[in-house]
Amino acid sequence: MSEFPSANVVVTGASSGIGQAVAETLARPGATLVLAARNADALNAVARRCREAGARVTVVPTDVTDAAAVQKLAEQARLAAGSIDMWVSNAGVGAVGRFHEVPVKAHEQVVRTNLLGHMNDAHAILPIFLDQGFGTFVNVISVGGFAAAPYAAAYSASKFGLRGFSEALRGELSGHPHIHVCDVYPSFVDTPGISHGANYTGRRLSAPPPLLDARRVAAAIVNLLAHPRDTVMVGSGAWGGRFAHMLAPAMTARIMNRVLTRYFATADTAAKTDGNLFAPPLKEGEIDGGLRSWPQGRAGRQALAVMTILTVLGLAAFFRRGGHASAAMRTPTPEGPLADPGGRNPRGSAA
């Protein structure tokens, strides 16, 4: 951020979790932030913290599944900021349960938010980027964009689809060297998303360790302002999931189904709920979900062991092939060497 002290950034899904962490990471004197989500009260709470850090903040309550509302968000952002350096497309929801036991309307809402919502974001901001000649569009996807998740079929469909959408969009924009489409793939992140999400299992939800701090994901996203890259993997679990899927996608899905089935057989009971699918949660936003402090139990340890084994197998297969991976597979992690800064925003160090 020292290279972009006055960045103008739009963040959707900014009321909690990764979106809130991005907003608070960006907040500093000279920055202009436009924060969007459905929950106005939670957005205003985040905005207060960002203003206290010195940023100019505009709050625009928006449902990304409403294309007209997203167009208005883009218009208000341009009025507030003048130009837009980055749009972080981060809104997302989930529904957990066996596919045939989850209502079709729930599946539809997951796809509408996680895929069509991001397409609405891109459709609204790309004309602005093309007009100003620069800009970075960030799709926050997840390891679920590479490795399918049993008990979350619609979520997997939306994330696989979002990865394909991003790749197609990058192809279309390849003639515009200062407009970037960047994908961020974190592994499991400790956010309120799991507790806020729809749960049709009748069991308490958790996530396998190791869980990422959302602030680490936010740092990787903010780094894209100065060093845009097509693909950023965050966390060893993301690399493990990607290698495991490359090596044996069917086996990976079967193993994860076995682990999850065993977990749900022993987890505490919980009420079935639509969660935040059709309405925002009532609580104000928070970055952390508190899952890192929970006992993960036998199923969590098994999931970690499975991911470790599959990562090792994937690495072995990679090196047996002589390391001839695609350019995307060789993209450095956020902690690795930075990309050639020649692709940065043409406005220079004071975007």
Which two tokens mark 22? 């991005």
Q: Provide the residue type at 176 as one letter.
A: H
Containing structural domain, residue 288: 8-324
- Whether 334 is covered by a domain: the verdict is no
**How much is the pTM?**
0.81
- Whether 64 is covered by a domain: the verdict is yes
Q: Which region among 112-116, 223-227, 245-249, 340-344 has the lowest average model confidence (pLDDT)?
A: 340-344
- Whether 340 is covered by a domain: the verdict is no
CATH number of the domain that residue 168 is part of:
3.40.50.720
- Whether 335 is covered by a domain: the verdict is no
Structure confidence at residue 295 as a pLDDT band (50, 70, 90): very low
- Whether 344 is covered by a domain: the verdict is no
Count of residues for the chain? 351
Mean pLDDT of 188-195: 87
What is d(CA 242, CA 239) in angstroms, rounded to the nearest whole number? 5
- Whether 330 is covered by a domain: the verdict is no
Q: How many CA atoms within 13 Å lie on the side-chain side of 203? A: 17
Which two tokens mark 289? 């979900």
**C-alpha angle 53-57-63 in degrees, rounded to nearest 5:** 130
The residue from 155, 185, 200, 263 that is catalytic is 155
Longest alpha-carbon distance in the chain: 55
- Whether 337 is covered by a domain: the verdict is no
Residue 213, helix vs strand vs coil: strand
More confident residue, 346 or 212: 212
pLDDT of 334 > 50? The answer is no
Are the C-beta atoms of residues 268 and 169 closer than 8 Å to each other?
no
Q: What is the pLDDT of residues 94-141, one digit of tens each?
A: 999 999 999 999 999 999 999 999 999 999 999 999 999 999 999 999
First and final C-alpha spacing in the chain? 10
Report how many domains make up the chain: 1
- Whether 338 is covered by a domain: the verdict is no
Structure letter (DSSP) for residue 211: P
Mark whether 155 is an active-site residue: yes
